[in-house]
Each structure stands twice: as structure tokens, then as C-alpha cells.
Structure 1
Amino acid sequence: MPELSRRDFLKLARDGFLYLNGALTLGGLLRFLDYNPGPAQKTAFDLGPASNYPLGSRTSLPEIPAFLIHSEKGFTALSLVCTHLGCTVASDAKGFACACHGSSYDVDGQVMHGPAVLPLRSLRIEITEDNQLILHTD
């Protein structure tokens, strides 16, 4: 068996690292191209008949998360996702509060105390011909 020179050893090590680097890169590329984001999230929610929400009612919809308000102006809905970092806000005596970072909003979703600077997002409410409420989050 011939003795391996220092030059041959370094060349062999370099080639081995290059092949290993190529294989790892190719594996990462294949994983990237094979990414499956899963099913699309639901953007329309059937809330049932409008008669289930009497005038003056304020209903929490935790599965969405949203807050449905029935006032003299009609139906409105606010997203319960904090505009600061996306935590879910909770209803309190003054409006809504984020337990994560301390943001607070009034009953109309306007910022009362930061770090959030944007109000809660308004969601679209559709009333169908048969008086059913559909909440759209898109």
C-alpha cells in the first residue's frame, strides 16, 4: 500500500468536504421544494341567524377569535388579535386588553395604551337573504 503524501491527504479532505457540502445543500433544496403548507385556513364563518344576537349584545367568538357587536348601526365585528405581536386580547371592563405585552383597546377597538399603535382590525359581516350572519376574516 503506497504511503499517502500530505498533498494527497489535503486534496482528498478538500474533495470530501466539497462532496459533503454539495450533498447537504441538495438535501436542503429538496426539503425546501417539498414543503407542504397544509390546508388553507377558513376565512368565512357562519354565525347562525341574526336573531340569535339581540340589539345591544356583545358576543365573544373565541373560535375565530372575534367579537360581534350588535348596535343601532347594525352588526360589526372586531378581530381579537392584538395588532402589536398577534396575541389574543380578552374583553375587560374598559374594552379589550392584551395579557402578553399590556396593550389595551377601548370598546371600539381603538388603542388606549401601547405598545400597540394600530386599532383592532374590523371584520366584515355579511347578512344573507335568509337573515344568516357570515363573518369574513379576509
Structure 2
Amino acid sequence: MAKTEKDGKSRRELITLGSAFGLMGLAAAGTGGALFKYMFPVVSYGTPQKFLIPLDDLPDVGDELIFDDMKVVLRRQTETEVAAISLVCTHLGCTVNRVETGFQCPCHGSQYDSDGLVVGGPAPKTLPWLEIKNVPGGQIEVDTGTSMPEGTFYAVV
């Protein structure tokens, strides 16, 4: 008796094709999920901290002092005015580096001018300017948890 051929695919071919399409769908879903997460980053700046700087340690007029451990740069505008700018990139929270033209993020290439304004890269907003208070004992207090408008300088006594 002659064997008759079936029209269409065999059971084995259907299982193979179904598995292949299933794996491609899983790969596409994983890639889409990673892309979605990249487009909406979760930035964690850590616990806001306050730290003290003696007035005697302030930089000269026109100079800056970088506090790497606190991720802050302190800028002295005049004899009586200072400002603090956060060094935490607003894209994904990396610490930016001081460069000749301003600041640059080593992680994804965001670029900021000397005042922390975004001039290139994926960063969504400017570097935060931080609150400074005069405290007793000839010191100032920088609050890394309180942002102020750009260009906010504080009078030091």
C-alpha cells in the first residue's frame, strides 16, 4: 500500500516554527523592556546631606573648590558671595567632571557649561544649585538636599 502525503506541515515542523517564533518574541520583549527602561531612567541622588565649611577655607574670589566626597563645587563670586553647584548628573546620577568648558558626565556624555546649564547630551535639566546658610562659629552650611534657582549666590559674613 502506498503512503499518501499530507498537505501542509508535519507536527514536528509546526513545533519547531512555534518555538522559533516564541523565542524571537521573547527576545523582542526583553529588548523592548530594556529600551523602555533606558528612556525613563530612575535617578537616585542618595540621602541629602548637609556639611560645614569654615569661612577660612573658602576659595579666593573667582576660584572654585571641589568637594569630591560630597559631589559639590563651591564657587566664590565676590569677597562676600558664594554659590554651591551639585556635581551629580541629572541624567543617571553619575558624578560629572570639571573640564575647561564647564562640566562633563563620563557615563553618557552630558555636557554642562560653567554654570551647570545643559549644552549637550541626554541630561534633562541643569545641575542643581544648592542652598547655603551662615552658621555660628565662622562657618557656612551647604545643603545638598535643597535646590535653588540657577545663579543664586549667598552672602557670607
Question: Shorter chain as normaliser: what TM range?
Answer: 0.5 to 0.7
Aligned partner of 1:122 in structure 2 is: 129
**TM-score between the two structures when normalised by the length of structure 2:** 0.58
Listed as ranges, the matches of 1:1-138 within 5 Å are 41=47, 43-50=49-56, 52-72=58-78, 74-138=81-145
Counterparts in 2 of 1:52 and 1:78: CA distance versus 1, 3 Å: closer
Sequence identity (%): 35
Amino acid corresponding to residue 45 of structure 1 in structure 2 = F
Given that 2:58 and 2:76 are in contact with CA atoms closer than 8 Å, whether structure 1 keeps it comes out as no
Gaps of 5+ in 1: 1-39
Runs of 4 or more above 3 Å deviation: none
Deviation at 1:130, TM superposition (A): 3.6
Counterparts in 2 of 1:50 and 1:125: CA distance versus 1, 3 Å: farther
Comparing 126-135 with 100-109, which one deviates more in the overlay?
126-135
Amino acid corresponding to residue 67 of structure 2 in structure 1 = L
Distance 1:98 1:53 in 2: 24
Q: RMSD of aligned C-alpha atoms?
A: 1.9
Gaps of 5+ in 2: 1-45, 146-157
